[in-house]
A and B are shown apart, each in its own frame.
Chain A
Amino acid sequence: MIELRNVTLKYGDKLILDNVSITVKDNRIKAILGPSGVGKSTILKLMLGLIKPNSGQIFVDDVDITRMKEVDLYPIRRKMGIVFQGNALFDSMTISQNFSFFLRENLRLPEEEIERRVTEQIKFAGLEGYEDQLPESLSGGMRKRVAIGRALIFKPRMILFDEPTAGLDPVSSKKILNLIASLRKTSNLGAVFVTHIIDDVFAIADRVAVLYQGKIIFDGETERLHESDHPFIMSILSDKILEI
């Protein structure tokens, strides 16, 4: 379980998050919905301890990681996988090296086990035959699948997605959303994804938190979003997509 409790974050004088509280339970899919540039991706980075809040606390499995040292955070982070918006694949490494890199870095596994896990992830991502290619030679959808496969390499309990369908064509978007939804069934994984596309939320999320002007203006079951009378939520429900 991941919990942000009364988190406030400023960049210089600019207030990004204002007293934000969010809880993500295991084996649930939670969406964080909001317009571009509102601080949604920042929430994911806070959950991983990549940035520190000005005030408030962050808990992972009831352990306060807010002021934890970087070296102590590494084992905590391995409980979660992340898929960055731009995928953040290592462009000088082949697809199989992108999968095996962190296994070799962090786990003392025999070479056969590394090979087995890499093969498993390549199969999962549907990229058989592309093992020795560089990321730049793949399509956007394929790169996203590599990034998801890489995020699963440590067998995490929770996976974080930053705008998983941004920049993808409708067919690839649907495939990625189905993949996220299937992860819960096949691997018993929880997921948090930030998005500005409301259809993605209704497609797979159990719960949704809406971030607007640095504050959470709705946090509840996805179906209950329609019950909100907040003007911003009413407007996004009618427009379906947030391009603000």
Chain B
Amino acid sequence: MPMTNIRNLSDQAVLRLKEFLLTMQEFFFFSVRAFTTMPKLKRYWRDFLDQANICGAESIPIVLVSSISIGSLLAIEVGNLLEDFGAKTMLGRSTSISVIRELGPLLMGLMLSARYGSRNGAELGAMQISEQIDALRAFGTDPIAKLVMPRLAAALVMFVPLTALADFAGLQAAGLLSEHYHHIDPGIFWNSVYPRMVPKDFVVGFLKAPVFAIIITLVSSFNGFSARGGTAGVGRSTIKGIVVSSGLVLIANFYVSKLVLENMQ
């Protein structure tokens, strides 16, 4: 009996591994198709503009709230820490590095994973279970070119200005808090920000925007396309899309920073 149980478990593990590898293969071809249909962008420019509005303009409030919040918190906490060492004048430099290189893009990525990723997953999942995606294929339209490629292109274009906005708002909030909470002269704060900035700071931060755009759009869209089993299935695929893309955003955040910081002077 125990041998039978072990065999069953091992069979199940093999089956799961096989399913996982098949899903990875499908995801690879799905992603390649999304990029190779980019030349059709002119044809689907209206879809592109719609998506640019959804992931760009409509995401501004959530990006502002998260970046102002993180900039303010950093100013308070890091300021308190620096005060202990009598180095409060370095607050501008410390917060700018954290906001521009790491927390600004990361928080924006996580917020957009929740906002834009969930919208993609739910919308495409609902289209999948109501056979609208099959209808596109049945009548000769490539659903990846029509539905995924404009989303990917819009995210690639819009995530960069959103990162700039997140950096700007985060730093402004940190500057205000340093003046009103830590009573640091704004001149001193900004003087420790700008002259000390190096191209590497911006490369780390802004390189993350397109990487996050690719992860969030492709993972959420793929999960939407894979939705099965009615409305509950749409819910499951949407959650899976957010969880996987958020996890990948965190991992990519680390590796992009590591790659740039180790290889760039």
Query: Which residues of chain A are near B130, meaning CB under 8 Å?
Result: 86, 88, 91
- Size of interface on B: residues with Cβ below 8 Å to A: 12
B102 an interface residue at 8 Å Cβ cutoff?
A: no
Residues of B within 8 A of A91 (CB): 130, 132
Report whether A88 and B140 are in contact in the complex, using a CB–CB cutoff of 8 Å. Answer: no
Question: Helix, strand, loop or mixed for chain A's interface?
Answer: mixed
CB under 8 Å from chain A, chain B span 120-169: 130-132, 134-135, 137-142, 146
Flag whether A218 is at the interface (Cβ < 8 A): no
Q: Which residue of A lies closest to B143 (CB)?
A: A70
**Quick check: A84 and B135 within 8 Å, CB to CB?**
yes
Q: How far is the CA of A90 from the CA of B141 in the complex (A)?
A: 13
Asked if A78 lies at the interface with its beta carbon under 8 angstroms from chain B, I say yes
> Chain A, 157-196, contact with B by CB distance < 8 Å: what is the 0/1 string?
0000000000000000000000000000000000000000
Q: Which residues of A contact B132 (CB under 8 A)?
A: 88-91
Chain B hits for A88, CB < 8 A: 130-132, 134-135
Most chain A beta carbons < 10 A, residue from B131, B139, B142 = B139
Interface set, chain A 48-100, CB cutoff 8 A to B: 48, 50, 70-71, 74-75, 77-78, 80-82, 84-86, 88-91
A86 touches B131 (CB 8 A): yes
Distance from B133 Cβ to chain A, minimum over Cβ atoms (Å): 9
Chain A residue at smallest Cβ distance from B131: A88
- Which residue of B is nearest A156, CB measured? B139
**Is A202 at the interface (CB under 8 A from chain B)?**
no
Contact B137 A50 (CB under 8 A): yes
Expressed in whole angstroms, the Cα–Cα distance for A45 and B137 within the complex equals 10
Beta-carbon nearest neighbor of B141 in chain A: A105
Asked if A232 lies at the interface with its beta carbon under 8 angstroms from chain B, I say no
CA distance A154 to B140 in the complex (A): 10
Report yes or no: A50 in contact with B140, Cβ–Cβ below 8 A: no
In the complex, chain B residues 222-255 whose Cβ is within 8 Å of any chain A Cβ: none
28 residue pairs from A and B, CB less than 8 Å apart: A45-B134, A48-B137, A48-B138, A70-B142, A74-B140, A74-B141, A74-B142, A75-B140, A77-B137, A77-B139, A77-B140, A78-B139, A81-B139, A82-B135, A82-B138, A84-B131, A85-B131, A88-B131, A88-B135, A89-B132, A90-B135, A91-B130, A102-B141, A105-B139, A105-B140, A106-B139, A106-B141, A154-B139
Extra inter-chain contacts (10) besides given A50-B134, A102-B140, CB under 8 Å: A70-B137, A74-B142, A78-B139, A81-B139, A82-B135, A82-B138, A88-B132, A91-B132, A102-B139, A106-B139
